[in-house]
Amino acid sequence: MQLINRPGLEQVTEPSPSSVVLATRDLSKAYGRGKRRFEAVNQVSLTLHRGEVLAFLGPNGAGKTTTIKMISGLVRPDRGQVRVVGEDPHRSARALRNIGAVLEGNRNLYWRLTPEENLEYFGVLRQVPRKIAHRRGLELLARFGLEEKRRTPVQNLSRGMQQKVAIAVSLIHNPQLLLLDEPTLGLDVEASETVKTLVRQIAKEGRAILLTTHQLDVAEELSDRVAIIRRGRMITQQSTESLLREFSDSAYRLEVDGVPTETQRVAIARLGGHVDGQSITYAGTSEGLYALLAALQPLPLMSVQRDRADLTQVFLKLVQDNQEPTS
Ligand SMILES: Nc1ncnc2c1ncn2[C@@H]1O[C@H](COP(=O)(O)OP(=O)(O)OP(=O)(O)O)[C@@H](O)[C@H]1O
Ligand SMILES: [Mg+2]
């Protein structure tokens, strides 16, 4: 990590280039033929550093899973490249050994085998010596609170336990990059919390995590950066904090002492504000804000606060703003 000073900006921490774990450039994949041909993923470039969680978000069918499959060597890109710790997973076994993946629907487990057997089996498959795979497997099971269930076939475990086993298996070969496709899907609150804690711990160990989820509160809580994809194209990629701040900069919440009159309500609505009892929310320019304050007179003003945007608002706005006109 290196600290840099940018004029007019606060001091920011920039990761050094050597900490890059994943870099994709212009990844593209089309499906279908002739008139039915469409670009499921279109020139997607992503960067992920050590210890970082990147939330990879997008509506259904946006191309997230296809991108993850290209990163993990399962689907060959039509164009573009993938580098995992500097190597191409489509050519180098070493790159593959640095990837752990939990894809949609836990397909990385054998349901008839126990957690212990799964860990050992997949460890050996990824070239971990059997004894080491066994030992590491037991450590992971202990860490994930699954010791008691280590000899129960995976098919007889609860959904949350299966998910934990899937994550444990993805870590058996000690990869630097972890790809998690909807890891909290279908989990209850408690199991979701456990998975979130695990994701945080795994990132703290210095691994890089690419996380897709439709649970935007989970993404907001866990991610250092956010990448949003829509119809195969990247809309934005930036730090979660700066994205939220960018949208929060123009959002305000005002409290007044008294309820605005009908005339005031109409004036506020015209300025783009929204009245809810004695609160007014507004997103727009500061000139607009002053006009709104003028419209509220003579009601006493109790407070004006920046209204922090959440990731759900930002996501919906960005995805709508990037709607292509339908032909
Ligand atoms: N093997 C395939 N053959 C044809 N089309 C495919 C194939 N795999 C994916 N697609 C299409 O590519 C598009 C992107 O799918 P993908 O699974 O990557 O989306 P996603 O962002 O993961 O969506 P979700 O949030 O629903 O999981 C979809 O239109 C999908 O139907
Ligand atoms: Mg998907």
3 state SS for the chain: CEEECCCCCCCEEECCHHHEEEEEEEEEEEECCHHHCEEEEEEEEEEEECCCEEEEECCCCCCHHHHHHHHCCCCCCCEEEEEECCECCCCCHHHHHCEEEECHHHCCCCCCCCHHHHHHHHHHHCCCCHHHHHHHHHHHHHHCCCHHHCCCCHHHCCHHHHHHHHHHHHHCCCCCEEEEECCCCCCCHHHHHHHHHHHHHHHHCCCEEEEECCCHHHHHHHCCEEEEEECCEEEEEEEHHHHHHHHHCCEEEEEECCCCCHHHHHHHHHCCCEEECCEEEEECCHHHHHHHHHHHCCCCEEEEEECCCCHHHHHHHHHHHCCCCCC
> Ligand 1 centre and the CA of 317: distance in Å?
23
> What would the pLDDT profile of 159-211 be if each residue is shown by its tens digit?
889 999 999 999 999 999 999 999 888 888 888 898 899 999 999 999 999 99
User: What number does CATH give the domain 249-321?
Assistant: 3.30.70
Ligand 1 atom closest to residue 232's alpha carbon, by position in its atom list: 14
| pLDDT band at 325; cut points 50, 70, 90 | low
Does pLDDT of 66 surpass 80? yes
Number of the ligand closest to the Cα of 62: 1
- Report the mean per-residue pLDDT for the chain: 89
Measured in angstroms, how far is the CA atom of residue 61 from the centroid of ligand 2?
7
**Ligand 1 geometric centre to CA of 113 (Å):** 29
Domain ranges of the chain: 18-244, 249-321
Predicted confidence band of residue 16 (pLDDT cuts 50, 70, 90)? low
Tell me what percent of the residues of the chain surpass a pLDDT of 70.
93
Tell whether the model's pLDDT for residue 308 goes beyond 90: no
**What is the predicted pLDDT for the residue at 98?**
95
Which residues have any ligand 1 atom within 6 Å of their CB? Answer: 31, 40, 58, 60-66
Mean pLDDT for the stretch of residues 61-78: 95
Q: pTM here?
A: 0.81
pLDDT tens-place string over residues 86-97 = 999 999 988 999
Residue 320 pLDDT = 75
CATH superfamily of 18-244: P-loop containing nucleotide triphosphate hydrolases (3.40.50.300)
Ligand nearest to the CA of residue 180, numbered in listed order: 2
Measured from the alpha carbon of residue 38, the closest ligand is 1
Ligand 1 center to residue 40 CA distance, Å?
7
* Res 12 pLDDT > 80: no
